[in-house]
Copies of this chain bind each other. A is one copy, B any other.
Amino acid sequence: METHPPLDLSAGQGMVEDVLDRFFERAKARAAKLGPSYLSLWQTLEDSTAGGKRVRPRILLTAYLNLGGTDTAAAAGVGAAFELLHTALIVHDDVIDLDFTRRGQENVSGVYRDLASSAGAETGAARHRGLSAGVIAGDLALTGAFRLLDRSPVSPETRLRLAEILDDAVFASAGGELIDVDFSFHPGAPPIDEILHMERLKTAVYSFEAPLQAGAVLAGAPDEVVSTLGLYGRDIGIAYQVVDDLLGVFGSETATGKSTFSDLREGKRTVLISYASDKPEWAELSDLIGSPSLTARGAARARELLVSSGARDHARELVREYADRARQRLDCPAVTPGLRAALSAVVDDAVNRGR
């Protein structure tokens, strides 16, 4: 079988950074006129977007360039819009989860909580101020995503289709976020299919389905390709989320930048927990997880129980299943060998993270 050297995305990725830089420069210049504290909020928001892996722009560029798209600037602009959407959603997700750090660093709410504390506010007030700043910053990033789409050099018809894709992504994420909040209020663990449904809505749609479809639309690909990439994105996105669940418990912190404690400590509803919830191990496991006082020893025991109950193996099997299904989606004439090769690489990345 002939090989397909992957297209070079670096030019496009550099343009994404330029678009984001220009966006924040403009916003900071306008904010400075309204007040120094507003400028700081924008600076904090920009800092929180820096150093990201730009997964969504990369996926969009991969689809666009491999479908023969040549206007890299346009694709970079839309990719940057998806990056801002990602920022908006995680900033508000952290507000909802009362998280003040992300990947080991203070997030927007964390920065403002600390500022308030240093200014002498007591804990509750400082946290509230941090969360308030998070609500405002997320709104700005969300609006910014649509702004960047408007600034991208695309035709009115294409812009409208892309705006619908962006809007559908927000619609899905908000639904997933709500269902996730609902879960935390239900005793026991929801069935695996409900967890997969939530994870797909909350993250897979805006992270995979939507950027892939946007790249295809932007490249002027036929509807068949757009919908095929959407289905591929759904499956690979779900595989990605289950890998996330695995890494949240079994991953190495160095590889993920995420504590392998936090998921267990907050008793996060994952496919692992759902699978274990009707196994004999559940009695002991349910006492360990979801407790702020969970020790390293307790976490180690929880991992043992997730292994012995077969939860880890089942999750790994789910990853294989959805990754295979994703690959099969690409097995159609509408998808060129080059695109298939490029997206298969995305599959492998998704599945082999943190190993």
Contact = CB atoms under 8 A, between A and B. Distances in A.
Interface in A176-228: 177-179, 181-182, 185, 197, 201
Interface stretch (A28-36, A324-332, A346-354): A28-36
Nearest to A89: B139
Contacts of A88: 139
B142 A150 contact: no
A24 interface: no
A222 to B, nearest CB: 24
A121 B186 CA distance: 10
Interface in A69-109: 88, 92, 95-96, 98
Copies in the complex: 2
B129 A177 contact: no
A167 B136 CA distance: 14
A38 B139 contact: no
B135 A178 contact: no
A119 to B, nearest CB: 7
A115 B60 CA distance: 40
Given A140-B171, A140-B174, A170-B139, A185 B119 contact: yes
9 contacts: A31-B175, A34-B201, A37-B178, A37-B179, A92-B139, A96-B135, A140-B174, A143-B146, A146-B163
Interface of A: 27, 30-31, 34-35, 37-38, 41, 88, 92, 95-96, 98, 116, 119, 121, 125, 128-129, 132-133, 135-136, 138-140, 142-143, 146-147, 150, 156, 159-160, 163-164, 167, 170-172, 174-175, 177-179, 181-182, 185, 197, 201
